[in-house]
Amino acid sequence: MAAQADYFIETQLPNHQKHYGSFTFPSILSPNPKSSPSSLSVFSEAIKFHKPFLDSLLLKSGALLFRGFPVKTAKDFNDVVEAFGFEELPYVGGAAPRTNVVGRVFTANESPPDQKIPFHHEMAQVPEFPSKLFFFCEVEPGSGGETPIVLSHIVYEKMKEKYPEFVDRLEVHGLLYTRVLGEDDDPSSPIGRGWKSTFLTSDKAVAEERAAKLGMKLEWLSNGVKTVMGPITAIKYDKSRHRKIWFNSMVAAYTGWEDARNDPVKAVTFGDGQPLPADIIYDCLKILEDECVSIPWKKGDVMLIDNLATLHSRRSFTPPRRVLASLCK
């Protein structure tokens, strides 16, 4: 196999990346047009061979976008994910309605296209979260539908500078997340995953056992179950990069956990149960929007996100759009 410079080339997308001194966010990789014609098997072998290079680039940049490679189907995407060699993380405890497509590939959040999904670290509201996640664009959106991303340590630094007392309180108390789940999935809601698919069982006793392993308390209701998670850390230390990160679902819960069963203002509080200040939450949302980058999806795109480094969201869109996902330990 040739050197990575002969197979992967870093490309630039003006107005769709941010430059931070020694690195660009995200890093965009394309096949070198001078190399031999690419096939899925060649791409998969190149990933395996150049894994140290890709790992170091992900560590530096926080997210990689692979564009122009021959990834056409969910099965192709599954092969690409497998080539990286990361262990799969079962989707237990997450809020989004998802459907298994093939192998370790699922649909991304299936909520309606007119709904935005706020910025979040994947499954930051539960103790066991993915370290990495993949997205794949199988069908380009008619319009919109981007997956904006933002570096978590930048958000932490800006919040710490602007609201030091608030951030200190978060570090001391953490956050408490509350969500009411129906029995079955509700595809009209961005947090519409029912308790049966959340805990991968239809047995309430088994659900309670799995919830307990997550540190989650359950209160059974006539039409579902109330879940309480926490207090859970809101600010983490990224040991691999030696910096603090904004690792929580605070803005997502406060501004987006809304449906027939849930009031978003009650969905997240300080770990001691005290309410969060709305003005600071919405200013944090503005910081997230100001610092993010948003690359329009193209068919065949594969994005690899380091879940400790990067928050992601979803913009509303005009159908069609089909983006698939895979979570890794």
SS (H, E, C) 83-151: HHCCCECCCCCCCCCCCEEECCEEECCCCCCCCCEEEECCCCCCCCCCCEEEEEEEECCCEECCCCEEE
Express each pLDDT in 36-53 by its tens digit: 667 999 999 999 999 999
Instruction: Using alpha carbons, list the distances in angstroms from residue 140 to 25, 75, 136, 145, 247.
Output: 22, 17, 10, 9, 30
* Cα 80 to Cα 44: distance, rounded to the nearest angstrom: 6
Q: Is 162 helix (H, G, I), strand (E, B) or coil?
A: helix
What DSSP designation does 261 have?
T
* Pair of tokens at residue 183: 């029995």
Express each pLDDT in 113-122 by its tens digit: 999 999 999 9
Express each pLDDT in 60-114 by its tens digit: 999 999 999 999 999 999 999 999 999 999 876 666 667 899 999 999 877 889 9
What was the pLDDT predicted at 3?
44
What DSSP designation does 53 have?
H
What was the pLDDT predicted at 267?
97
Task: Render the burial of 301-314: b for 16+ CB within 10 Å, e for the rest.
Answer: bbbbbbbbbbbbbb
What was the pLDDT predicted at 36?
66
What was the pLDDT predicted at 69?
96
Question: Which string of DSSP letters, residue by residue, matches 164-182?
Answer: HHHHHHHHHH-EEEEEEEE
What was the pLDDT predicted at 4?
45
* Cα 119 to Cα 154: distance, rounded to the nearest angstrom: 14
Q: Are 304 and 81 in contact (CB under 8 A)?
A: no
Q: Are 189 and 259 in contact (CB under 8 A)?
A: yes
Q: Are 229 and 126 in contact (CB under 8 A)?
A: yes
**Mean pLDDT, range 232-242, rounded to an integer:** 97
- For the chain, which residues make up each domain, given as ranges? 8-110+130-141+297-328, 152-289
* Cα 259 to Cα 268: distance, rounded to the nearest angstrom: 15
Amino acid at 40: L
* Cα 262 to Cα 89: distance, rounded to the nearest angstrom: 27
Q: Percentage of the chain with pLDDT > 70?
A: 96
Give residue 1's pLDDT band: very low, low, confident or very high (50, 70, 90). Answer: very low
**Mean pLDDT, range 228-256, rounded to an integer:** 96
Name the average pLDDT for the chain: 94
**Mean pLDDT, range 171-196, rounded to an integer:** 95
* Pair of tokens at residue 248: 């929580």
Q: Do the domains at 8-110+130-141+297-328 and 152-289 have one common CATH topology?
A: yes
Q: Are 199 and 95 in contact (CB under 8 A)?
A: no
Can you list the alpha helix ranges (DSSP code H) found in the chain? Answer: 4-7, 40-49, 51-61, 74-84, 152-162, 164-173, 195-198, 204-213, 250-256, 264-267, 278-291
Give residue 206's pLDDT band: very low, low, confident or very high (50, 70, 90). Answer: very high
What was the pLDDT predicted at 99?
87
In CATH, the architecture of 8-110+130-141+297-328 is 4-Layer Sandwich (3.60)
**Mean pLDDT, range 199-223, rounded to an integer:** 95
Express each pLDDT in 260-291 by its tens digit: 999 999 999 999 999 999 999 999 999 999 99
* Cα 128 to Cα 285: distance, rounded to the nearest angstrom: 25
Neighbouring C-beta atoms of residue 202, cutoff 10 Å: 12
Instruction: Using alpha carbons, list the distances in angstroms from residue 276 to 28, 177, 213, 292.
Output: 37, 12, 27, 23
Single pTM value for the model? 0.93
Query: Is the peptide bond between 231 and the residue preceding it cis, with omega within 30 degrees of 0?
Result: yes
Residue 21 φ/ψ region, left for φ over 0, alpha for ψ in the -120 to 50 degree band, beta for the rest? left
Overall fold of domain 152-289? Double-stranded beta-helix (3.60.130)
Nearest to 94 by CA among 227, 289, 258, 270: 227
